[in-house]
Amino acid sequence: MEDEFSRLFDRIEKRLRRIEDQLLRDIEETLKRALEIPARRVPIYGESIEPLYTVRDFGDRIVIYVDLPGSSEGTIDVKFEDRKTYVTAKLREAIELGKIFGRYRDIEVREYSLVIDLPFEPRPEKTKVRSRKGVIEITLYR
């Protein structure tokens, strides 16, 4: 008896889904015809995207690794102000976020931007910055 009810409810659920899908298609088609606006794609340019990074504390120094895939080596900029590190880099070509995340359709990003809070104020004379294969290594000595 239970199997019969399960099969009946499954059939009803499938039929309701088909009806709902058809209704949505009909509404969408009706709205397109009513508005008669030609579909065109206008990209929106976002400010920047925050790259992935790791901070490792070695006691006498802090090493920050920032992953900047697709960035142009000559445009990478690292600045220090008070207890903050600012990292920016331009991308070789824009990243279309809609290809990665469906909800961000038509948004393009052309730059990385990152702000990292530090536990101490860095001393520029004792700071080392290396860039290799799209990864920045920033070594800050206490």
What pLDDT tens digit does each residue of the chain (142 aa) get?
A: 678 878 888 899 999 999 999 999 998 888 877 776 555 554 555 678 899 999 999 988 999 999 999 898 889 999 998 899 999 999 999 888 777 777 777 788 889 999 999 998 888 888 999 988 889 999 999 8
Q: What is the pTM of this model?
A: 0.63
Residue 60 structure tokens: 């006498």
Half-sphere exposure for 50 (CA within 13 Å, toward CB) = 6
User: What's the CATH number for 44-141?
Assistant: 2.60.40.790
Residue 9 burial by Cβ neighbours in a 10 Å radius (0-12, 13-18, 19+): exposed
